[in-house]
Amino acid sequence: MRTIVCALAFILMASCQESKKQPTFEYKFSDKEQSLQCEGQNNLLLNEALHSFEDDIARTYDPDSRRVYNAYAKFIMPGMGGRAEYARLPSDHTKKILEALIAEKIIVKGGKHSNLNYTHPAVQCIINGIEEFGLKNTINALTSTNGMDPTLFDTRLRNKGRDAEKKRYMAMYIALDAYYQHLADVDFPATATN
């Protein structure tokens, strides 16, 4: 009986510790298009990250009309080059999503050129889902030789803002490598969890 009690206590402690590691938040964009589908991955989180990113850049880069394609056009160059004003861009919601991306190990601090974990299955799915064949192949080639650096794509992606609204895997790649991976280097005040 004592063994069973100890085993249950261990399981309870382990599950409590696991729940502390996984940030929780309200999904604000679950009613929007859920276009990213990566088998065995947290697709709800990935889609939420994409929509929150787009909301942030539309609010910042096209505040009057909030047209996402205009925001992409203005964000891509500084974003891919790591020159955007990351400390002022994200909403509190985006900061919570960043915490979840870090907990999922999609974003890992301390990368050579990027905090994006290119070997993570979700990231591999996103890269392999990129609708632009040449872009996908270039990213895969650079990733396989550990030469991937998002700054190589600032000019290459500069005219892709209009495409990003339709090409959602490319949009998610931009969100991860031009936005979230840079947010990981910013010291934000702690956000409250829901």
How does pLDDT run across 15-70, given as a tens digit for each residue? Answer: 444 444 566 889 999 899 899 999 999 999 999 999 999 999 999 999 999 999 99
Looking at residue 130, its amino acid is I
Q: What is the pTM of this model?
A: 0.84
Q: What is the dihedral of CA 34, 192, 83, 137, to 10 degrees?
A: -30
Measured CA to CA in angstroms, residue 51 lies from 27, 94, 158 at distances of: 10, 10, 20
Tell me the residue range of the domain where 117 lies. Answer: 39-183
Given a contact cutoff of 8 angstroms between Cβ atoms, the answer to whether 110 and 146 are in contact is: no
Residue 3 DSSP code: H
Q: How far apart are CA 24 and CA 100, in angstroms?
A: 8
Q: How many domains is the chain partitioned into structurally?
A: 1
24 within a domain of the structure (yes/no) = no
> 19 in a domain, yes or no?
no
| Parts of the chain with a pLDDT under 50 | 5-10, 12, 14-20, 192-194
Residue 21 lies in a domain: no
In a domain, 83, yes or no: yes
pLDDT of residue 66: 94
- Could you tell me the end-to-end alpha-carbon distance of the chain, in angstroms, rounded to an integer? 38
Tokens in use for 167?
Answer: 């090409």
Q: What is the pLDDT of residue 67?
A: 93
pLDDT attached to residue 190? 64
Give the model's pLDDT for residue 87.
92
Answer whether residue 74 is part of any domain. yes
For residue 24, what pLDDT is reported? 80
Residue 71, CB-side half-sphere exposure with 13 Å CA sphere:
23
The residue assigned the tokens 């050579």 is 112
Q: Which residues contact 116 (CB under 8 A, 6 or more apart)?
A: 106, 107, 108, 123, 150, 176, 177, 180, 181
In a domain, 193, yes or no: no
Q: Is residue 144 part of a domain?
A: yes
Residue 70 lies in a domain: yes
